């Protein structure tokens, strides 16, 4: 037999004997879900690589490769909030907010166990936060306002 006849016979055999059910890879997804809203439905999957649709009288399941798409265009919070110097050897750190209405922001100082040590309101664009009453250690300062929260890890020497 010639190579052409063998090749044709092989392709026909694959099609007739269930070639549509052959899979190179198959998996069960690690996680996923579906979110519906008035404008449509979005489904997501983690770890899924096979493509297959299964239907029966009681329902339908559809597998498929889903590509991530990030359409977020949010401005990073840190673009307008800074804390310095870090590490500090002074009794205070400076908080600088260049976002609109800095006087609407508040701050909280906590230790690494989450115990609240101090809190206050931001008075102006550059404010000083006193650390004189606390020992040398690593602290968390959380700044909240304008619908955003920014957390800083400050080292007091």
- Where are the domains positioned within the chain? 23-71, 77-156
Structural tokens at position 145:
């306002």
When pLDDT is averaged across residues 95-111 and rounded to a whole number, the result is: 92
Q: What is the pLDDT of residue 16?
A: 67
CATH T-level assignment (fold) for domain 77-156: Immunoglobulin-like (2.60.40)
pLDDT of 102 above 60: yes
What is the pTM for the complete model shown?
Answer: 0.51
Residue corresponding to tokens 């304008």: 146
Q: What is the pLDDT of residue 2?
A: 80
pLDDT of 157 above 80: yes
Euclidean distance between CA atoms 134 and 140, whole angstroms: 13
Reported confidence tier of residue 61, pLDDT bands at 50, 70, 90: low
Euclidean distance between CA atoms 141 and 3, whole angstroms: 75
Contact present, 55 and 34 (Cβ < 8 Å):
no
When pLDDT is averaged across residues 20-46 and rounded to a whole number, the result is: 65
> Which regions of the chain does DSSP assign to beta strands (E)?
31-37, 40-46, 52-56, 59-63, 81-84, 92-97, 106-111, 116-121, 126-130, 137-145, 148-156
Reported confidence tier of residue 41, pLDDT bands at 50, 70, 90: confident
Half-sphere exposure of 129 (CA within 13 A, CB side): 31
Contact present, 39 and 48 (Cβ < 8 Å):
no
- What percentage of residues in the chain have a pLDDT greater than 90? 34
Higher-pLDDT residue of 62 and 141 is 141
pLDDT of 71 above 70: no
């Amino acid at each position: 037999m010639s190579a052409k006849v063998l090749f044709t016979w092989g392709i026909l055999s694959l099609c007739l004997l269930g070639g549509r059910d052959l899979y190179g890879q198959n998996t069960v997804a690690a996680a996923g879900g579906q979110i519906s809203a008035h404008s449509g439905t979005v489904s997501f999957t983690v770890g899924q690589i096979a493509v297959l649709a299964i239907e029966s009288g009681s329902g339908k399941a559809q597998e498929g490769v889903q590509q991530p798409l990030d359409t977020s265009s949010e401005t990073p919070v840190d673009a307008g909030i800074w804390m310095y110097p870090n590490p500090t050897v002074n009794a205070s750190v400076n908080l600088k907010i260049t976002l609109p209405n800095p006087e609407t922001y508040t701050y909280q100082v906590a230790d690494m166990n989450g115990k609240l040590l101090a809190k206050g309101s931001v008075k102006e664009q550059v404010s000083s936060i006193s650390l004189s009453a606390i020992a040398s250690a690593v602290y968390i300062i959380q700044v909240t306002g304008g619908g955003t929260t920014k957390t800083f890890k400050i080292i007091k020497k």
